[in-house]
Structure 1
């Protein structure tokens, strides 16, 4: 089996390749390819790989741009630190979606899914049904209605509709409400994002997950970034990197 690795962080790429070869010692691995541009060039000038492991945020943009510019005739296992791209991943060639940090069990499960989806005859329709099910599930989820928090000596229930944004402070995830009250949440920001409807919350970066209703205005910033201003106070500037600008504007427009 020939595998292409598309990953812009060399350390992460080496760790991924090590896990792949520990699960499938006989595979031939190309890469890592680190950008949208170089991935397109590779796929246009080399034999088609049997499988692609692909990060989503690359050095020059989102890997989804690849599918808009060329036909990618291979299944893709997406590997990313962010979970808000799952629906988009399964609309392309995605057969699995692995969140960083992953391990050998995650890689093995992804290969098992590939084997199931590529079995001949009786399972050919399974692949289409599986992808349709994933897309439908992502579209229909209403998300978590409330969060149980503990502050001081009390347990409190915070309605999701009252939350302006989530952020990470000293490795602790916190809720900030529209009343500008904050509460700790006993889970990671990744876990929190996976429980919320995509139409209502957006993961700006590794630290902030914001509610659409909390956005006051958006301005252009240096280096093709966007500056997001909220209706509640935030101690730092909330910036959208140039690699997520298009996705963020699309999210704003998708009402």
Structure 2
């Protein structure tokens, strides 16, 4: 037909048309596969932030880069607490969101309370405009949690206990470092005249041998090994007894909010966390 109408077929001229069609079909299929791989990669690199209220969200740096997820949720503003770590030009989208940037280290000595007022004003501003704001640090664990907890206490008039329960209900990985926790406890006392909860430090605690008083490592396994090696004359029953002493010591030191009693479930979960780490 092409020859009858004097059409120029270019590189098709003189070639086997079946080979050309097969090559083109292969190209199209490869493009589809690459597109799917790209979509899978994007999905794996996406994090959905946790919704504390209809207008307040919390997450990590990955959530702040999950543009399509943020747009789907209706996020309009982003409060970044780790601009020094993530950079602004590479990880922010000023054409899509309005940003408020802070650079503060996740260090126990950092004065995070110094940015409470400015950060909270930004959150209130977003709420008044009918927008939605994401508060994020690098991991979505310490700095962002501290700012959000302080916001719930200062602007929403919650105690630390109520603010903590509100946050942890939707964002389980929230865990301010011990220095930030002290700031929150001091704020709780200042606002309400007393602290509403006790804070368990998350630093690993050295196991101490109940017999000789020496440090025996960080885990119950290291303590048991120390008892078997350093106190060889002890029978297996005595070793177990010494281990029980250490467990009972940890249970006696267990602190819960409001000074209530420790339930069997709490005892079991605390013992597992402490001695199987």
TM-score tier by shorter-chain length is under 0.3
Calculate the TM-score normalised by the size of structure 1: 0.27
Looking at CA atoms only, which structure, 1 or 2, has the larger radius of gyration?
Answer: 2
Calculate the TM-score normalised by the size of structure 2: 0.25
The structure with the greater share of residues assigned to helix is 2
